[in-house]
A and B are shown apart, each in its own frame.
Chain A
């Protein structure tokens, strides 16, 4: 293969070998970034925990758009009911991404896009009903800047007219129902000059009885106009989505 331009090919091959050789190091960084002790205490305090590879934290290898990085979390491999899962990015200025509390009948999996400021490990701490914490990790490479750039909404004048509009879809899956929704909201981080933080902070899915099926806290690290998915284990008839932002605006629609 080492013909002409092939110098470049050979070099990139050498690069690949190096990358393979250092991948354990990357893995180690994922679990032991310099921020790990700090962020862990921030979210789970001094509780004992263990890393658990059955918690899948899915991220693209590179953040093509640092303002919209898709994150998929799936803790169903644990085969145990959970109380909550907390997701954060070690090197983000706003580390917290979301806290998800699925009730009985809801699968411990969720996906949404978030912003990254630089390459970072992403953690998902899952608390089992026993109180025990298990931690899954992922890593995303990024050029960065996602938290300190103005949202696209702020570049337009008409975002107010679509504020809180919810689009939604419901899909039959082998495991039950998949809900996918998009809420129009600038999700301003507060880290951009002259734009105060303005973001959706609470999401609930409720039954007609008022019973809460899903409870989720969102941080301003979640991307603007986020598309969120979650899954129920059985068909969930008549449910309502309710959201509230940090200005007290409430948004609601049937799913």
Chain B
């Protein structure tokens, strides 16, 4: 029978272990296809508890070296990811890809230097322009997890098209719906059939809209993605799927958002009234949906209001 002392010791151990856990990312790479590993983040918002581990990253071990797909929210995350990669393969890091310019996808770049860091041209420009502001914001949101993190602007640009690397036939695409004009990278690995739409697709988590050039553009991108032949898909946030479930969920949410903002503008609702509109049951289980809906009103409603104004 446990004595009081045993209980106290157990409690202290628990306290100590959770304290030391506090600043260690518990990354668990999972192999989903030949040479292809994914690291699934939580579907939460940035916090001092999760250190920004809210994003999916992945890596592909080719015979020429490892291709890292997104480096995470902080230097510490990048280091943890690199550590996991070295536990799995002896191959060196060949290159790091930044799918787009949002802070949860590129702040781990530092850990992989001097490996080349690649992104679309628009992404390179956006990280150069906004990186410092994002860094300040990230320090505020997740605190000490960011210690030592600095902006590393992608060193090379990536051109859309087919590219053979180390036994894999990759196809890169430039989309626009989530991050702006030709600022969303998509990768289709024809060799394994894994599609990486990055943040064009969110699964079981509400989509974020700060840089969308328009929900209709995003919806068109999703229609194009749906035509692609793939066996598995890794959304930017949320679990791996082997069908169109995640894509259709993102599409349905964005279509609802578009119609809701359009309808609200036609009725003359104010922003604060729109923010309080009910979320339909179909989306009420999406992580962060109320917060993201409020944010989206701030990002987008003005454009819908403009459309019904008379000059």
Q: Which residues of A contact B (CB under 8 A)?
A: 4-5, 7-9, 11-12, 15, 58-62, 64-65, 68, 70-72, 111, 113, 143, 165, 167-171, 173, 178, 180, 182, 227, 229
Residues of B within 8 A of A70 (CB): 270-272, 275, 297-298
A111 near B271 with CB under 8 A, answer: yes
> Looking at the complex, which of B43-51, B58-66, B73-81, B178-186 is the stretch in contact with chain A?
B43-51
The proximity string for B residues 292-303 relative to A, scoring 1 for CB distances below 8 Å and 0 otherwise, is 001101110010
- For this complex, into which size category does the number of interface residues on chain B fall? 35 or more
**22 interchain pairs, CB-CB under 8 A:** A4-B26, A7-B26, A11-B49, A11-B50, A12-B47, A12-B49, A15-B49, A58-B275, A62-B295, A64-B210, A65-B298, A70-B275, A70-B297, A70-B298, A111-B270, A113-B271, A143-B137, A165-B311, A167-B310, A168-B309, A170-B268, A171-B268
18 further interface pairs, Cβ-Cβ under 8 Å (given A64-B299, A72-B272, A180-B268): A5-B42, A7-B21, A12-B47, A59-B272, A60-B297, A64-B210, A70-B271, A70-B297, A70-B298, A71-B272, A143-B137, A167-B310, A168-B309, A170-B268, A173-B268, A180-B305, A182-B306, A229-B270
Answer whether residue B273 sits at the interface, using C-beta atoms and an 8 A cutoff. yes
Decide if B40 is an interface residue (CB 8 Å cutoff). Answer: yes
Question: In the complex where A68-B298, A70-B298, A171-B267 touch, is A12 in contact with B50 (Cβ < 8 A)?
Answer: yes
B268 with A178: CB separation less than 8 A: yes
Residue of chain B at shortest CB distance from A5: B42
Bound: A16/B262 CA distance, A: 33
User: Do A72 and B268 touch across chains, with their CB atoms under 8 A apart?
Assistant: no
Q: How far is the CA of A58 from the CA of B308 in the complex (A)?
A: 24
Please give the residue numbers on chain B whose beta carbons come within 8 Å of chain A beta carbons, in ascending order.
21, 26, 28, 40-42, 44, 47, 49-50, 53, 137, 140, 210, 267-268, 270-273, 275-276, 291, 294-295, 297-299, 302, 305-306, 308-311
- Per a CB cutoff under 8 Å, which of B50, B306, B311 touches A8? B50
Is the pair B308, A8 in contact by a Cβ cutoff of 8 Å?
no
Does the CB pair A12–B270 fall under 8 Å? no
Nearest 10 interchain pairs by C-beta: A171-B268, A72-B272, A70-B271, A167-B309, A111-B270, A11-B49, A64-B298, A58-B272, A70-B272, A178-B268
| Interface contact B49-A8, CB-CB below 8 Å | yes
Across the interface, name the chain B residue whose C-beta is closest to A64.
B298
Contacts of A15 in B (CB 8 A): 47, 49
Partner of B28, one of A4, A58, A64, A65: A4
Bound complex: CA A178 to CA B50 (Å): 44
Query: Which residues of A lie under 8 Å from residue B40 when comparing CB positions?
Result: 5
B304 to chain A minimum Cβ distance, whole angstroms, is: 11
**Given the complex, which residues of B lie within 8 Å of A227, measured CB to CB?**
270-271, 302, 305
| Among B271, B291, B308, contact of A61 (Cβ-Cβ < 8 Å) | B291
Residues of B within 8 A of A9 (CB): 42, 44
List residues of chain B with CB within 8 A of the CB of A113. Answer: 271
How many angstroms from the CA of A165 to the CA of B44 in the assembled complex? 42
A60 touches B298 (CB 8 A): yes
Chain A neighbourhood of B295, CB < 8 A: 62, 64
A229 touches B268 (CB 8 A): yes
B169 to chain A, nearest CB (A): 32
Q: B306 contacts which of A11, A71, A167, A173 (Cβ < 8 Å)? A: A167
Provide the bound-state CA to CA distance between A234 and B49, in Å: 52
**A12: shortest Cβ distance to chain B, in Å?**
6
Contacts of A165 in B (CB 8 A): 311
